[in-house]
């Protein structure tokens, strides 16, 4: 679980982290606190996950 960029709740966003590798490391995420959804990208190199709709990047900072 990751922090929500919309309501700033800690570890409130759930996503399908078991199947995320099968889908280009992207999965739909949903915040259990504010109900906002987004596309979560999980970095295959460092494991960092973030919402690519709110961070406006589709690569991890470790790949830049
Ligand atoms: Zn939220
Ligand atoms: Zn990374």
User: What confidence tens digit (pLDDT) does each residue in 13-64 have?
Assistant: 999 989 999 999 999 999 999 999 999 999 999 999 999 999 988 789 998 7
Phi/psi for 26 (5° steps) reads -125, 145
pLDDT at residue 56 in the model: 87
Q: Which ligand is nearest to the CA of 7?
A: 1
The CA 35 to ligand 2 mean position distance, Å, reads 26
Q: Which ligand is nearest to the CA of 44?
A: 2
Q: Which ligand is nearest to the CA of 60?
A: 2
Sign of the C-alpha dihedral computed for residues 2, 44, 27 and 52 taken in this order:
positive
- Taking ligand 2, which is a single-atom ion, which protein residues have CB atoms under 5 Å away? 43, 45-46, 48, 60, 62
Phi/psi for 34 (5° steps) reads -115, -5
Instruction: Give the whole-angstrom CA distance, residue 48 versus residue 64.
Output: 14
Reported pTM: 0.89
């Amino acid at each position: 679980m990751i922090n929500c960029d919309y309501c700033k709740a800690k570890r409130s966003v759930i996503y399908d982290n078991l199947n995320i590798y099968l889908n280009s490391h992207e999965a739909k995420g949903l915040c259990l606190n504010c109900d906002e959804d987004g596309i979560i990208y999980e970095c295959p190199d460092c494991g960092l996950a973030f919402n690519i709709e709110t961070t406006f990047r589709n690569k991890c900072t470790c790949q830049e």
